[in-house]
């Protein structure tokens, strides 16, 4: 998600607008996009932190506008945004995963007892935010380590 977002946003000039239709849902079919539902609570916060703001939206489609000017060329801007977005997603997903872990017993009880769902279905729904955000955190921290290794390689003249 961070790479695609950085790729698209790096091409926008200050004041430029973009319509986003994020795929932040769980289809429960095992598709890799399912972890992306973990971004939903903080995706627009991430965009705001890197210089964009949401100006409108309907149910699933949102408009964002770029607040700041591009710092350099498109490639440099893309790399800057990638670093920022991965750092933000690592931080925010860890917070969300921790919160989901703390809330897990309550979420499970509500789904199983109040909604009278089968235990396996209630457990799957209750644990999903934890799994999604741990997946986001693992990917983000892995990408940040790759970026740091590349930077170190380049700084040594490689």
Q: What is the mean pLDDT of residues 72-79?
A: 90
Report residue 69's pLDDT band, with 50, 70 and 90 as the boundaries.
Answer: confident
Task: Please give the mean pLDDT across all residues of the chain.
Answer: 88
- State pTM to two decimals: 0.86
CB-based burial of residue 80 (10 Å sphere; 0-12 exposed, 13-18 middle, 19+ buried)? middle
| Three-state SS sequence of the chain | CHHHHHHHHCCCCCCCEEEECCCCCCCCCCCHHHHHHHHCCCHHHHHHHCCEEEEEECCCCEEEEECCCCCCCHHHHHHHHHHHHHHHHHHHHHHHHHHHHHHHHHHHHHHHHHCCCCHHHHHHHHHHHHHHHHHHHHHHHHHHHHHHHHHHHHHCCC
Report residue 21's pLDDT band, with 50, 70 and 90 as the boundaries.
Answer: confident
pLDDT of res. 33:
56
Contacts of residue 54, defined as CB under 8 A and 6 or more positions apart, other chains included, come to 44, 47, 48, 62, 63, 64
Within a 13 Å sphere around the CA of 127, how many CA atoms are in the beta-carbon half?
A: 9
* Per-residue pLDDT reduced to its tens digit, 93-105: 999 999 999 999 9
Is-contact 104 9, C-beta < 8 A?
Answer: no
Is-contact 26 37, C-beta < 8 A?
Answer: yes
């Amino acid at each position: 998600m961070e790479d695609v977002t950085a790729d698209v946003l790096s091409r926008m000039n200050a004041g430029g607008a973009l319509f986003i239709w994020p795929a932040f849902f769980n289809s429960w079919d095992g598709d890799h996009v399912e972890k992306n539902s973990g971004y939903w609570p903080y995706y627009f916060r991430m965009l705001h932190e890197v210089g964009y703001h949401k100006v409108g939206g309907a149910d699933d489609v949102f408009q964002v506008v770029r607040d700041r000017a591009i710092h350099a060329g498109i490639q440099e801007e893309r790399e800057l945004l990638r670093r920022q977005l991965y750092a933000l997603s690592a931080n925010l997903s860890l917070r969300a995963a921790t919160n989901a872990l703390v809330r897990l017993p309550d979420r499970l009880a509500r789904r199983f007892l109040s909604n009278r769902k089968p235990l396996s279905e209630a457990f799957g729904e209750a644990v999903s935010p934890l799994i999604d955000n741990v997946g986001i955190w693992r990917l983000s921290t892995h990408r940040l380590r790759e970026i740091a290794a590349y930077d170190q390689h380049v700084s040594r003249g490689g």
